[in-house]
Amino acid sequence: MFLVVGLPGAGKTTRAEELAAAAHALRLTADEWHISLFGNVIGDFQRPGGERWVLEGRLISVALQALRRGMSVVLDFGLWGRDERSALRWLARSAGASCQVVYLPVDKDLQIARIVHRQATAPDETFPMSAADVDRWREQFQAPDAAELDGGEIPAPPPGWQSWPEWAEDHWPTCTL
């Protein structure tokens, strides 16, 4: 399983398409599903249980089914949080698959330029984003460290959680393991 990590405008979907083609993998891009199901209104990305988390949970369930059947999967979700990535790395391994974190850092000026271009050329394929959104998201984003990028040891779940599956089922309420 490939986890494509980065902020909006980092080039995640382009890289996910390349990885999927090279690995003959199933590509699951949450933004494409979200727009086709709910339109290009951002909705509730922040609150667990919001539509984005519900959607991601279902896509993760599909990914796990594919991994168990020997297929490769590319998750193009952004995956801004270390806990999300740790849970997915653990779930991939529990399904008998390896997991690679693919991080696409992006300079803020280039990020904004790409977002503006996307909104001008394909407004129905993107979400509205302001410079203030970009600043807030850049503060929230947790870049992967060397251990994540090298496929190192998966840390223990955060305090209050006994296991990564328990954390994942709470974070992504529709995720069936």
Domains parsed from the chain with CATH numbers: 2-171 (3.40.50.300)
- The per-residue pLDDT for 35 is 80
One-letter identity of residue 61 = S
Edge-to-edge strands, sheet with 26-29: 26-29, 73-78, 2-5, 100-103
The long-range contacts involving 58-61, CB below 8 angstroms and separated by at least 24 positions, are 58/174, 58/175, 59/28, 59/30, 59/33, 60/88, 60/91, 60/168, 60/172, 60/175, 61/174, 61/175, 61/176, 61/177
Tell me the average confidence (pLDDT) per consecutive run of 10 residues in the chain, 177 residues long: 97 97 96 78 53 89 98 96 97 97 98 94 84 94 96 96 96 90
How does DSSP classify residue 26? E
- The per-residue pLDDT for 53 is 83
- The per-residue pLDDT for 126 is 82
From the DSSP assignment, how many helices (H) and strands (E) are in the chain? 8, 4
Q: In Å, what is the CA distance from 157 to each residue of 133, 161, 175, 177?
A: 29, 6, 17, 17
Tokens standing for residue 3: 């986890």
- The per-residue pLDDT for 31 is 84
- The per-residue pLDDT for 153 is 95
How far apart CA 108 and CA 34 sit, in angstroms, is 25
For the full predicted model, state whether its pTM sits above 0.85: yes
- The per-residue pLDDT for 36 is 82
- The per-residue pLDDT for 127 is 81
